[in-house]
Amino acid sequence: MRASASIWMQGNASQNWFEVLYKERFINQEDYKMGKPGTWGNSETVQLEILPFESNPLEIKYTHISTRFDPEYGVLWTQMKPEGIPCCSQGLLDDLDHHQKILEKSGGKIKVGDQLHAIHYAVASSLTPGVFNLGGDLGLFSALIKSKDRQALLKYSAKCLDVIFTRTSHYKFPLITISLVQGDALGGGLEAALSSDVIIAERSTKMGFPEMLFNLIPGHGAFSMAARKIGVAQAERMILSGKIYSAEELHEMGLVDVIAEDGEGVEAVRNYVAKQSRCSNGYMALQKARHRFNPVTYQEMMDITNIWVDAALQLTDRDLKVMDRFLRSQQKIFGKYETVVHSGVAVQALMAARRKVEISIVS
């Protein structure tokens, strides 16, 4: 059983979605007054328990992710397996947050049997067929926006941002991060993919930022990361269009680095790692130069997240109805509470439902 921070809350049910975030990134109390990680606003914490961290990431059993390690090239695989709708649920965020803190403390070493191995690559992927991740928890967004609960909305957003920024920071040791996208990556799901140095996508994958369909923008690193990879103007066009792109289109734009045939994504990762390992010193030097030239800072991303929260709270009833239609489509396909079998057909049905929403907006 994994060790983590756990809380028991009093108040309305929506507050139970959240967890006290660690304060290590913040050094003054003004951050807390602004609703950044570390506070609960009007919520009352009855009990807080912080359990010690385990030392070996492979020995920890999670509910919403699984891990494995390939010692040949030093590849750590982190595979998402959220229950129900494959979105950025609080359970998935908690598991990812805990896993990443373990990696930060590992110093880039992992024990397999009696031997200690260096982690050279960290691959993020999904075990949900046809889906990488569908982004934010729309049910939670809708409820918090309707109740005007800015503090709770920012708290959830800060947790998403912590997970993304920790990965963009390479867990504080030198390695290459890779996102293997074998299914749809929408909104926050695409933000998660962008947090890696390299995106390898299977050909039938669809990706994009559909938030503009309900009058919002992605707010957890999308602009910061996309603008650095494909340029400011292209990133703006991508966000404002709300368009869902094919993997080939994004490869031409420079957002996707490698295209793999369907079902061959894992092999494409292996081939990429084998090829890159022959010149890893040069690649690591270029990576460091790129991040030194145009670094993504936590403050920049948090400032944009605050802008996103303020914009979310301005959504109209009409906007929220569109968001709720997205949610109902997801619930119908993936199940409201229980895990269901996913398929490419189900994902295409979700895409069709989204296109119907877009058509209704235009008309």
Do 94 and 100 form a contact (C-beta atoms < 8 A)? no
- Structure tokens, 317: 């009833």
CA end-to-end distance (rounded Å), the chain: 52
Sort strands 184-186 and 244-246 into parallel, antiparallel or unpaired.
Answer: unpaired
Q: What is the pTM of this model?
A: 0.79
Q: Using pLDDT thresholds of 50, 70 and 90, give the confidence band for residue 159.
A: very high
User: Domain-by-domain residue ranges, the chain?
Assistant: 54-362
Alpha helices for the chain (secondary structure H):
30-33, 90-106, 138-146, 150-168, 188-194, 222-230, 232-241, 247-253, 265-277, 280-293, 298-312, 317-334, 344-362
Hunting for tokens 């928890």 — which residue is that?
137
pLDDT band at 352 (very low <50, low <70, confident <90, very high): low
Is pLDDT of 183 > 60? yes
Are 152 and 18 contacting, i.e. CB atoms less than 8 angstroms apart? yes
Mean pLDDT of 107-129: 93
Q: Which of 4-13, 128-137, 338-347 has the highest mean pLDDT?
A: 128-137
Region of residue 130 (left: phi > 0; alpha: psi -120 to 50; beta: else): left
**129 DSSP assignment:** T
Confidence of residue 355 (pLDDT cuts 50, 70, 90): low
Is residue 126 a contact partner of residue 65, using CB atoms and an 8 Å limit?
no
Residues 6+ apart with CB under 8 A from 311: 216, 217, 219
**pLDDT, tens only, 232-268:** 999 999 999 999 999 999 999 999 999 999 999 999 9
- pLDDT of 362 higher than 50: no
124-143 burial string, b = 16+ CB within 10 Å, else e? bbbebebbbbbbbbbbbbbb
- Contact, 213 vs 271, CB < 8 A? no
Question: What are the φ/ψ torsions at residue 179 (nearest 5 degrees)?
Answer: -105, 120
CATH homologous superfamily of 54-362 equals 2-enoyl-CoA Hydratase; Chain A, domain 1 (3.90.226.10)
Q: What is the pLDDT at residue 342?
A: 36
pLDDT digits (tens, 9 = 90+) for 88-104: 999 999 999 999 999 99
- Residue 336: per-residue pLDDT: 52
Alpha carbons 19 and 38: distance in angstroms, whole number: 9
Name the one residue in this structure whose structure tokens are 């050909």: 203
